[in-house]
Amino acid sequence: MEVIKRIEEIFKELLTLVGEDPGREGLIETPSRVARMWVEELTTGYKVDPNDIFKYFNIADDYEKHDDLVIVRDVPLRSLCEHHLLPFFGYIHIAYVPNGRIVGFSKLARVVDVFSRRLQVQERLTNEVADFMFGKLTPKGVMVIAEAYHTCTIVRGVKEPMYMVTRAARGSLSNENSRIEVLALLNLAKGKQVLNIDLRSI
């Protein structure tokens, strides 16, 4: 593929410019491996329209009468910081009050993946997921909380927080009381082991 070939050349040049020998044994396949990783893994979100992968289920009218809350915890988040091109990673938690529609966990995870596998800042990513959910699922309210470690601060030894939490809320979950309730429920679910499986190790 032409793009991968060109990126490979760029990484070969980068290695030379920092004083390395791209021809030595340990590095000989690195430019092509890194080029493939960039195109086939780290930036695949540019090629996918989240509208194409999102599916919801209609639920019975009965549910709509109550302002019940759905919380999905620990959706994996892996992204690249647009300022340093270094990874940030963690979890996204999504809470929403259904309004006739619900969504499966795997679809949520894919939506998060599409927005994550682009160059991002955590604040925008959080907002993009919230806006998408709000527009597509049309819930009464939605809240998205992202928590992530930023390797750009870790590897550079920057004395600023390397762990960041961001929140975006829309609709009925925008108010103070909802915020407290969602955070309390998230904490309640934290660390619980379901079916005796450590979900974080899967």
Site residues (CB under 5 A) for Zn ion?
A: 81, 83-84, 152
**Nearer residue to Zn ion within complex by CB, 22 or 87:** 87
Least spacing, CB of residue 9 vs Zn ion, in Å: 26
Residue 146: CB minimum distance to Zn ion, A: 15
**Alpha-carbon torsion (152, 154, 159, 161), positive or negative:** positive
> Residue 36 or 78: which CB sits closer to Zn ion?
78
Q: Which is nearer to Zn ion, 29 or 123 (CB)?
A: 123
Q: How far is the CB of 196 from Zn ion (least distance, A)?
A: 38
| Residue matched to tokens 């990513």 | 125
How many alpha carbons fall within 13 Å on the CB side of residue 129? 35
3-class state of residue 54 by DSSP:
coil
Which residues in 3-160 belong to E strands, given as ranges?
56-58, 70-81, 87-97, 101-103, 119-120, 141-150
**Whether the Cβ atoms of residue 59 and residue 102 lie closer than 8 Å to each other:** yes
Nearest residue relative to Zn ion (C-beta): 152
Say whether 71 sits in a helix, a strand or coil.
strand
Q: How far is the CB of 121 from Zn ion (least distance, A)?
A: 8
Q: How do 101-103 and 56-58 pair as beta strands? A: antiparallel
Residue nearer to Zn ion on the CB measure, 84 or 179: 84
Q: Which is nearer to Zn ion, 148 or 168 (CB)?
A: 148
Q: Please, what is the minimum distance in Å from the beta carbon of residue 85 to Zn ion?
A: 8
- 147 by DSSP, 3-state: which? strand
